[in-house]
Structure 1
Amino acid sequence: MTQTPGPDPHQKWFDREHLGQDLKGKSVKGGLRTVGAQLFSFIINIVTTIFLARLLLPEDYGLVAMVTSFTGFILMFKDLGMAQAIIQMDGLNQRLVSMVFWFNFLVSILLALIIIAMGPLLVWFYDEPLLLGITFYYSLAAIFGGLSTQHQALLSRQMHFKELSEITIAASFFSLMPALWMAYAGYGYWALVAINVLNPAIAAVLLWFRCDWRPNWTGIDWSIKDFIGFGAGVSGFNMINYFSRNLDNILIGRQIGSDALGLYSKAYQLLMLPITQLRDPLNAVATPALSSLHKQPEKYRHYYEQYLFLLAFFSMPIVAFLFVTADDIILFLLGPNWVEAAIIFQLLAITAFIQPTASTRGMVMLSCGLSTRFFFWGLWNAIFVTIAFVVGMYYGGLNGLVIGYAIVNYLILIPSLMYCFKNTPVRVADFFKTVAAPGLISILSAAALYQLVAIELDIHLFLQIILYAAVFGVLYLALWFPIGALRSRILGIVDLVKSLLNKKL
């Protein structure tokens, strides 16, 4: 008697029709959890960095940086963009995902071997024998990443952000504690190596524990060509984007010197810190949600507008506030030796004002399966940015480079939106209609705050910044209420947060 095969126990990780039943609730709760996890991990890292800086020598950080500047580029290819394909694509089944898993795992082994082979080259290049051991252990990070990429993608596909948040927190905590002990015990740079190897190892174990999907032992054939094609676009974009985002550092260090590079990199890092803490977790939540709606244009457009408004509502005023208070922020956080970074900080803020919302171009293309267009957009963007860097530096040095970067970002904004949104549910008008109010109100609030900043207050610098933040916050929120349409949007955010606070997240 022939038995009827039972249901595939892994199918629950592939189907996502049920997500539409409470997509808004899942997205908001997922966003809060992800932001919370990111914030907790950020605090852990800051506290640990303070301690490690007192236990380790600058040479320890320098040794590790010599390796990571090269391995960072190689590790971009650990999943070849296929994790994004798992999140976005329809029609998944156990055989396909298993083949993608084994393909990614083989790639991760290949990358690990490449990293190991780089060891002698780095020793020769830097004339530093200690790099050989560091490079070997960094190769393990590639293998751990290859073992867990599909599990993380499946959890994201099903919007299990609570589990992902818990894994992020646990991996950060349990990788940093041994590193602190190693630094205290005198192991030097090995403490830093331990952080970067233990984190992906712990995350891999926890991902396998939280996601019960397991790959079948299967061969690899051409049926995964769609995944490879999709991933090729993502990987190509990442490679080009990595180059364009690091070209400014190369030019500044080569043409001007280490002092200028230090000012620039610290200003950029400080400005991007609050933005990335907001943007990255929101993107992690929005991408799988939009991917599940790409065949429902009206719902897709509505969700995108809600997400874009939330991102603009918080990111634009943060950047506007930092622009106005740059001198005080730099002096308080970095000290008097860094005051020259304030002007760079302000010039970078001009671009950062629109950058978080403009970066949703990529999310729209990927969630609609347009990875090839995503690659070509990255290519054209890299060309324009490179020209801006070179011309700006030629005519204006460091400040000219930053100004050129700002000019090109605003010049290509509308053409890039037209290209990236073509044949997607989103229109260019949807973008500007959504970001117009947060942008205008942020600028008006910043202009009003500037009048207060111009007055020399005889109070402690920390209290002065707190006062500025309070005044700016009141101004920003107050300007939303006179107009009914704007008031309803902000009240909607307030009601949503209040309802979530009354529920268990």
Structure 2
Amino acid sequence: MSLRKKTISGLTWNFAQQFSVQLIGFCVTIILARILLPEEFGLIAMLTVFIAIGNSLLESGLTSSLIRSSDLGEDDYSTVFFFNLVGSFVLYGIVYLCAPLVSSFYNQDILTLILRIYALEFIINAFFAVQNARLTKEMNFKIQMKIQIPAVLIGGLLGVFLALNGYGVWSLVWMGLFQSFLSTVMHWIYSGWTPEWVFSKTCFKRHFSFGYKMTLTGLLEIVYRNIYVLIIGKSYSVAQLGFYSRADSASQLPIANISAVINKVTYPMFASIANDDVRLKAVYKKLMQQVIFWNAPVLILLAVIAEPLFTFLLTSKWVPAVPYFQILCIAGVMYPLHAYNLNILKVKGRSDLILKLELIKKIICIVGILCVLPFGIYGLLYFQLIFNFFAYYINSIYSGRLINYSIREQITDIIPIIVASAFAGLMCYLANMFYFSSLQLPDIIRIVINGFFFLVIYLVSSTFLRLAPINDFKQLILTK
């Protein structure tokens, strides 16, 4: 199969998987949010950073090395598998012992038991990390879809059942663990690979030399992504953290669907043409424009319709999360391109440069956060917005140098798309302010009218500006 057909197939199946999984997860979350209290979501949010750090340490970047490497043998896969498995038990033991410290930090005694149970996810996930990496390397997203949809659906149903029966925060814990367990079982059934009893020091050194830098990079990103949760959880009420967590999760939905699809497919695809800079630049440019073309308008529209959307889906008890959600939506416009840029550095084997860039960005981030702390939670949110655009700028400079695609060229290629999205959002906002709000329409009607109005303006603006992604999308998807 040609690279083009393989990419289209990968995009199609991966988007189907991502959209289906996110849709199911979204529906489950809506139901749970209507049953549970913001405080119960806040408790889980407090542990997010620790669970994410644990999972990142377990991966150790070794699975990324498997995906980018060629001429792999069974020794490579089995070595990484057993390293992850042993590491998961060691890490769980550390978390188990440190759980009381986490509870003390947040002054929430219940977190000790929750963390000790929730952290079992480390061990469960270690059993399928390599199988998942093999499927990604082969761009076999059809099988991944068959695995993920049942796991999310059945796990979600369990979570709703427990919530309805008064399990509170524990319904979220057991839902997550059960989803991981089902995913593990089905990876072993569908992947067609099982480890051999072998551990090669040579293979380990090969993958670790690349992977440990990716691990440090991942840890920096996780700490950055969750530093707001740590600060809000420590400084404000559990309910306020619940509002922030729900706003952040909701704003991540389009980002997760669009960026996860693009990045998961582009990494192995870029790796296959890593030595052809001219071709790599052409593909990179087209996909970058596609990411912004779909991501920017969706997030801006969500920011405009945030109030009726939250009221309709989550009930009025979640309305305090609306302003947080609106700021985070705008902040997320450029976020999918962060990992997308880093994929260029990864396939070029520059994990050292990735680590250097992440260190620089995170140092600047920490200094910035300390400066805006006196301005409260909104100071943190607006800083997050500004920093996301700055982070894209830094990443694109270095990835662009490797493929002769300057930051000026990149910005020139995406500015018209952002302008079209912003114009549609502004027109929709003004229509709401001066007309729709006075009609006192039901929330669902307001959402539908605003969505249609925004779509018409965005498509007309895109056509007027002759945006390249429209034609590229037709050629990529519609042309056989």
TM-score scaled to structure 1, two decimals?
Answer: 0.82
SS of 1:481's partner is helix
1:400 aligned residue (379, 382, 395): 379
Q: Write the distance in 2 (CA, Å) between the matches of 1:357 and 1:450.
A: 26
Corresponding residue for 1:103?
83
2:295 aligned residue (299, 312, 315): 315
Where do 1:67-466 residues align within 5 Å?
Answer: 70-118=50-98, 128=109, 131-132=112-113, 137-180=117-160, 191-255=171-235, 257-258=237-238, 260-334=240-314, 336=316, 341-394=321-374, 396-411=375-390, 413-424=392-403, 426-457=405-436, 458=439, 459-466=441-448
Corresponding residue for 2:20?
40
Q: Write the distance in 1 (CA, Å) between the matches of 2:27 and 2:244.
A: 24
Amino acid of the structure 2 residue aligned with 1:402: L
The question of whether the paired residues in 1 share the 8 Å contact of 2:147 and 2:187 is answered with yes
The question of whether the paired residues in 2 share the 8 Å contact of 1:316 and 1:439 is answered with yes
Asked whether 1:472 is paired with 2:454, we answer yes
Which structure 1 segments of 5+ residues have no match? 1-20, 501-505
Identity of aligned residues (%): 24
Q: Write the distance in 2 (CA, Å) between the matches of 1:121 and 1:390.
A: 23
Q: Residues 182 and 468 (structure 1 numbering): CA distance in 2 closer, same or farther, change over 3 Å?
A: closer
In the TM superposition, residue 227 of structure 1 has moved relative to its aligned partner by 1.0
CA shift digits 1:172-216 (9 cap, x unpaired) = 123334455556677666544432222222222222222223333
SS of 1:107's partner is helix
The question of whether the paired residues in 2 share the 8 Å contact of 1:237 and 1:374 is answered with yes
Q: Residues 25 and 76 (structure 1 numbering): CA distance in 2 closer, same or farther, change over 3 Å?
A: same
The question of whether the paired residues in 2 share the 8 Å contact of 1:37 and 1:169 is answered with yes
The farther-off stretch of 245-254 and 311-320 is 245-254
Amino acid of the structure 1 residue aligned with 2:289: F
Q: Write the distance in 1 (CA, Å) between the matches of 2:418 and 2:108.
A: 51
In the TM superposition, residue 80 of structure 1 has moved relative to its aligned partner by 0.7
CA shift digits 1:123-170 (9 cap, x unpaired) = 8886858954x5555454222222211111011001001001111112
Structure showing greater relative contact order (alpha-carbon pairs closer than 8 Å, 6 or more residues apart): 2
The question of whether the paired residues in 2 share the 8 Å contact of 1:293 and 1:299 is answered with yes
The farther-off stretch of 68-77 and 368-377 is 68-77
Amino acid of the structure 1 residue aligned with 2:144: L
SS of 1:353's partner is coil
The question of whether the paired residues in 2 share the 8 Å contact of 1:85 and 1:231 is answered with yes
CA shift digits 1:399-439 (9 cap, x unpaired) = 23323333344445434422344334644345224312311
Q: Residues 194 and 330 (structure 1 numbering): CA distance in 2 closer, same or farther, change over 3 Å?
A: closer
Q: Residues 434 and 218 (structure 1 numbering): CA distance in 2 closer, same or farther, change over 3 Å?
A: same
Q: Write the distance in 1 (CA, Å) between the matches of 2:321 and 2:168.
A: 31
CA shift digits 1:22-47 (9 cap, x unpaired) = 22232233223222223322333344
Q: Write the distance in 2 (CA, Å) between the matches of 1:216 and 1:117.
A: 32
Q: Write the distance in 1 (CA, Å) between the matches of 2:35 and 2:383.
A: 41
Q: Write the distance in 1 (CA, Å) between the matches of 2:119 and 2:456.
A: 50
The question of whether the paired residues in 1 share the 8 Å contact of 2:118 and 2:177 is answered with yes
The farther-off stretch of 55-64 and 474-483 is 55-64
The question of whether the paired residues in 2 share the 8 Å contact of 1:260 and 1:398 is answered with no
Larger radius of gyration: 1
Corresponding residue for 1:12?
none
SS of 1:294's partner is coil
Which structure 2 segments of 5+ residues have no match? none
SS of 1:215's partner is coil
Q: Residues 36 and 223 (structure 1 numbering): CA distance in 2 closer, same or farther, change over 3 Å?
A: closer
In the TM superposition, residue 111 of structure 1 has moved relative to its aligned partner by 1.9
TM-score scaled to structure 2, two decimals?
Answer: 0.86
Q: Residues 212 and 270 (structure 1 numbering): CA distance in 2 closer, same or farther, change over 3 Å?
A: closer
Q: Write the distance in 2 (CA, Å) between the matches of 1:152 and 1:137.
A: 24
The question of whether the paired residues in 1 share the 8 Å contact of 2:128 and 2:188 is answered with yes
The farther-off stretch of 38-47 and 364-373 is 38-47
